[in-house]
Chain A
């Protein structure tokens, strides 16, 4: 009940914020541009639209997750609105999870709007509709949920600028982390291979959520892969949120 009140309020805050609409607007513009780009290629127009569309959902989703997610807790502390909330009979973890829930709700609406537009484009220009596209969007959403958890973690103890940079950094590294593992396996030095595998397991492997290439090119993605990715995502999110709660629980608000 209290968790829902906070989630709804967070959603309301995000929805009344103008940044969200401008990002959403540009996302839709990007997707429309893919139609023009697709015209320049021969016979591959629908693939360009699909590839571009999924990429846009992922990229703008991350921007929204980071921009909105990062300021979230920090703004509450900075504007001292948190004093009013935490002096009510509400445990701090409820506050954090409520915030996270509100963000997930915001992202769900955002991704749905972008996805709806995307589906319309594909239906209009393509022949039929491949349901694997929805699998790809589902995994993108999971990835966004993970990035949001990471952003929330940083925003529980640093400034928005820093946590924004960290969260974006984790997003980029997360897509390269499988290279890190391969690099480590090839290294002779046990220290380097130890370090790289440590980093590999510490940082999220976001390639687990990236099936855009396969889907666009019609390569089937087994449900088993999606299942494992989902499990991985949920575990990583749970771990990150636990850590965030631990940090937040001990914090003084002065």
Chain B
């Protein structure tokens, strides 16, 4: 059983006075397996949030089918073991943190003693114990994001869907969220989250889907994202002359007394090494550089 199955999902919106058609998502299919951390990336307006909203029942698909643990998302019961954090969450301003979590817990039919224990655990997990009795209108953006995460986990869900969980957080807050996501994985939970912050995705995701303009462009483990792409290789050397290397056709820069040469293929790597050795230089290191997610991203959205 997959945690999430999206089959040929399309969503069309009618916009403006003339009800012009706008395809927000086109024929999207992917599955998220149980126990994995799945990253959902793409530029603004690519259809990430639309897809996530359809998964939690806020939007109905124009075409296609969405399943959560084999249950159609149009059934409210599909959300019993689901946790969801909306993008830039807004909650009831007049509720206190603790009241809000209790309110959320009631929708899962959790008995009161369980709820009370769980609320304290969640407050601990997201580090919000001190602010738990303040009304939510006094919370900062980062605090709202944390209490939002706490409400998403209140029912001890098997699947957690987070829309931009790191946005608006400082580096410490982001690393806390990353830690919590990894903890969830250790507990055997499935996490699907969307993000703009590619380094976060790179750090923790098992698999990533990249969507651009409503269409799936890349899907798979990050290492499989760039098969066949020429990788850059960086060679560090010393005791060689920069000018002579440049004359030989190798762009080189000097840094900290060493020389760094970047080449694009294995063939030019060998020639560069030969040139260094011919000059009686010393090779310090040869490091193949994987194309970063950012570069893939930039290439794909062009």
Contacts and interface: CB of A to CB of B under 8 A. Distances in A.
Interface string A134-159: 00000000000000000000000000
Interface residues of B, number: 32
A254 interface: yes
B197 interface: no
A85 interface: yes
A101 B135 CA distance: 24
A63 to B, nearest CB: 21
Contact of A89 (B59, B77, B94, B95): B77
Interface in B23-81: 50, 53, 56-60, 76-80
Given A89-B79, A253-B53, A84 B91 contact: yes
B103 A9 contact: yes
B82 interface: yes
A37 interface: no
A188 interface: no
Given A86-B58, A252-B60, A254-B53, A81 B90 contact: yes
Contacts of A91: 76
A17 B93 CA distance: 11
Contacts of B108: 88-89
Nearest to A78: B90
A84 B151 contact: yes
A86 B59 CA distance: 10
Contact of B56 (A5, A79, A80, A87): A87
Interface in A228-254: 250, 252-254
Contacts, number: 78
B104 interface: yes
A127 B13 CA distance: 66
A2 B107 contact: yes
A252 B107 contact: no
Interface string A191-235: 000000000000000000000000000000000000000000000
Contacts of A5: 103, 106-107
Interface in A70-114: 79-81, 83-91
A1 interface: yes
Interface string A41-79: 000000000000000000000000000000000000001
A87 B84 contact: yes
Interface of A: 1-2, 5, 9, 12-13, 16-17, 79-81, 83-91, 250, 252-254
27 contacts: A2-B107, A2-B109, A5-B106, A5-B107, A9-B92, A9-B103, A12-B94, A13-B94, A16-B94, A80-B86, A80-B88, A81-B90, A83-B53, A83-B58, A87-B57, A87-B79, A87-B82, A87-B84, A87-B86, A88-B104, A88-B107, A89-B79, A89-B82, A89-B107, A89-B108, A252-B13, A254-B53
Interface of B: 13, 50, 53, 56-60, 76-80, 82, 84, 86, 88-95, 103-104, 106-109, 148, 151
